[in-house]
Amino acid sequence: MGNLRCVYMFVAFKRYRNLHIILERAQRPIPNAEYNLVCIFKAYLHPFDAMKSIFTLPFLLGFALVSCTNTTSETTESEKEEKEVELTADTNSPVLMILGTIQDAGSPQIGCKKDCCKDLFTNPDPDRMVVSLGVSDGKGNNYLFEATPDLPRQFELLQKNGKKREKNTPDGIFLTHAHIGHYTGLMYLGKEAMDADQVPVYAMPRMSAFLSENGPWNLLVDRNNIELKGINEGEVVQLDEITVAPILVPHRDEYSETVGYRIEGPNKSALFIPDIDKWTKWDQDIINEVAKVDYAFLDATFFSGEEINNRDISQIPHPFVIESLEAFKHLTASEKSKIHFIHFNHTNPIIDVNSDKAKQVLKAGFKIAQVNDCFNL
C-alpha cells in the first residue's frame, strides 16, 4: 500500500492534479507505515500554502522515495485493483467516479441534534454530498447518475477529473426515481440558474410523466432546458463505448418507478442500486447480479435499525448494512471486494471510515464508497 500511495501522489504531481484530491485521498485509513509520509504531504501541500510547497517539494520527493523503498514489496490482488482504481483518472479511457455517498437529505440533516451532526453545522465536511455517480467517456463527454441538490459541485468535480472540454452542461443525466435527493438538482438547469439548452435527461415512463406534468419541473421541459429521453427496463442506452441499462427495483414508488443501473464500458462494468426496500423483496438475486459486474455500488442507508429511534423505520425500508453483511458473507473474497456500500443516512456510523462499524465492514472484505474514488470501465 505504501508503494501504491507514493505512485498515486507522484502521478498527481506529474499531471498537475488538484491538490485537494491528493489531500482527500490521504484522509482514508492507511497502514501505519504510510502515516508519516501522508502527514508530511498534508502539512506542506495545503492548497493555501502553495509557496511553501514549491520550496519543500524536493525534500518531499526524496522522503517519498525513502518511504516507498522501506514499505513492503508484497502486493495483494486487492492492492493491485486499488492501484488501478486510483490511477484511472490519468487515462483517456472511460472512467466512473463517485461524486456523492449520502442519503437524500444530506449530512448534517436539518434539525439533527445528535452527535453525528452537531459539529458538522459549524465544520461541514465538503465530501458529504448526496449520492451520485459520474461517468466520463474519455472523449470529453460527461454523464451524471442522479441530479442531486449538490449537482453544481458534483459536475464541476467530474469535469475536473474528466477530459477537458468547453461544454459546461452534462451530456446526459440518468435518474433513478422521484425522491428528493435524486432529481431536484435539475433546478440548476432552469431559467433561474444556468438556463441550460436541452440537457438529455434519461428517465423511466412514470418519472418522465412526473417531470413533464408537474411544476416547476414541467417548465424545464417546456422551455427546452432539458430533453426527456424515455427509457424502459430491458432496453439499453448506447453512449459510444458505454452502455447503460435500467433495472427495476422495489422501493416506495409514490411518484415514479425506481431503478438501478448497469453501466458497461469497453472493459469493465458496474451495478448502481442506491435505493431498494430489501434485497429479499426483489425478484432478482442480488448475488447473481453482483456476479455479472466488476463493481457494485449498493444501498447502505442504515447500518441497523438501532440508529433511528424517532421514526417508524418500517415506513422507510432499506437493507440494513448488517443484513447485507449476512446476505453476502459466503461470497468469495474477490466477490466481496466488488461491493462498495453507498447512500448513507446521516446517522450511519460507517460514513466515518475510522469508526468501529466501518472497520467491521472493511474487515469483512467489503468497501465503503468515498467521494473521488475512480474506476476503469
Distance of CA 262 to the CA centre of its chain: 15
* Local confidence band at 311 (pLDDT 50, 70, 90 cut-offs): low
C-alpha span between 83 and 90 (Å, rounded)? 12
Per-residue pLDDT of 121-161, as tens digits, reads: 888 888 889 999 999 998 889 999 999 999 999 999 998 87
For residues 278 and 312, which has the higher predicted lDDT (pLDDT)?
A: 278
User: What are the boundaries of each domain within the chain?
Assistant: 2-75, 83-376
C-alpha span between 245 and 200 (Å, rounded)? 16
Residue 13 in grid coordinates: 504531481
C-alpha span between 19 and 37 (Å, rounded)? 15
Longest dimension (CA), the chain: 63
- Average pLDDT on 78-99 reads 63
294 within 8 A of 337, measured Cβ to Cβ: no
- Which CATH entry fits the domain spanning 83-376: 3.40.50.720, 3.60.15.10, 3.40.50.2300, 1.20.120.1810? 3.60.15.10
pLDDT score of 119 more than 90 = no
- Average pLDDT on 190-202 reads 95
* Local confidence band at 91 (pLDDT 50, 70, 90 cut-offs): low
3-state SS assignment for residue 156: helix
Lowest mean pLDDT: which of 135-149, 154-168, 195-209, 361-375?
154-168
Give the chain's end-to-end CA distance (angstroms, integer): 23
C-alpha span between 216 and 170 (Å, rounded)? 20
pTM for the model: 0.76
Q: What is the pLDDT of residue 346?
A: 82
318 within 8 A of 341, measured Cβ to Cβ: no
Enumerate residues 6+ apart whose C-beta is below 8 A from 104. Answer: 130, 131, 148, 179, 180, 181, 182
Burial class (CB in 10 A: 0-12, 13-18, 19+), 322: middle
Q: What is the pLDDT of residue 93?
A: 85
Residue 141 in grid coordinates: 463527454
Q: Which of 140, 199, 331, 342 is nearest to 260 (CA)?
A: 342
C-alpha span between 255 and 179 (Å, rounded)? 8
For residues 120 and 177, which has the higher predicted lDDT (pLDDT)?
A: 177
- Average pLDDT on 285-302 reads 94
